[in-house]
Amino acid sequence: MKNSSTDTTVAGRITRALADRIISGEFAPGTKLRQDHFAEEFGASHVPVREAFRRLEAQGLAVSEPRRGVRVASFDVSEIREVAEMRASLEVLALRHAAPHLTSAILDEAENINREGENAKDVRVWEDANKAFHRIILEPCNMPRLMATIDDLHAASARFLFAGFRMEWEAPTDQDHRAILRALHEHQFDVAAATLARHVKWIGTKPGKNNLKKPVS
């Protein structure tokens, strides 16, 4: 599967637009996704719309049900914990392969991205920076299938993030990101991996409004 952020096909463009609406809560769980409607909206045939629906299903954002068509997927605590466990394992795997290839320039850019997140004025800007931070330190693993899976899991995490922070927002100071970067600069790869795993697993610890003082990374 192509990285959805760089896929310039019609299906990729439709996928990004619909995923953004689902993640932000514009499309509520259970909302029916109609091929005719989106084919007309995007000026496309049904083929790329069907492909976009398939990609949304792969990301866990949509489900296809017999005689009911494609609908926006619901999510619950057990799913959130599963996503957290999977992300922790796969991101650590990616980081271990990426770490030897992380240059000072890459780490400096990661610091700049993290700073942008800490200065974010709303949750959407923060999440864009957060996703970019994780991607820039993991992508040098040169494992495109692994990165595509991580991207899908990050989309599921972002959906929970937006649900929790829809009403209120305060930009965080992300000490975990800073600790990961410090360990990578010092070539303490085991420390960086352990910090990343703990950081990502936070999403799976008894989620609820009171726990959302810290964003889901």
d(CA 88, CA 80): 12
Question: Distance between alpha carbon 41 and the CA centroid of its chain, in Å?
Answer: 25
Predicted confidence band of residue 145 (pLDDT cuts 50, 70, 90) = very high
What was the pLDDT predicted at 7? 62
Question: Distance between alpha carbon 66 and the CA centroid of its chain, in Å?
Answer: 28
For the CA atoms of 147, 51, 129, 104, what is the dihedral angle to 10 degrees? 30
SS (H, E, C) the chain: CCCCCCCCCHHHHHHHHHHHHHHHCCCCCCCEECHHHHHHHCCCCHHHHHHHHHHHHHCCCEEEECCCEEEECCCCHHHHHHHHHHHHHHHHHHHHHHHHHCCHHHHHHHHHHHHHHHCCCCHHHHHHHHHHHHHHHHHHHCCHHHHHHHHHHHHHHHHHHHHHCCCCCCCCCCHHHHHHHHHHHCCCHHHHHHHHHHHHHHHHCCCCHHHHHCCCC
Q: Find the range with the poorest average confidence among 13-27, 38-52, 167-181, 183-197.
A: 167-181
179-217 pLDDT per residue, tens: 999 999 999 999 999 999 999 987 655 444 434 444 546
57-106 pLDDT per residue, tens: 988 889 998 888 999 988 777 778 888 999 999 999 999 999 999 999 99
What was the pLDDT predicted at 152? 86
Residues 6+ apart with CB under 8 A from 101: 140, 141, 142
Domains of the chain: 10-72 (1.10.10.10), 77-213 (1.20.120.530)
Say if residues 131 and 4 touch (Cβ distance below 8 Å).
no
Comparison of pLDDT for 132 and 26, the residue scoring more: 132
Does the structure show a pLDDT above 50 at 159? yes
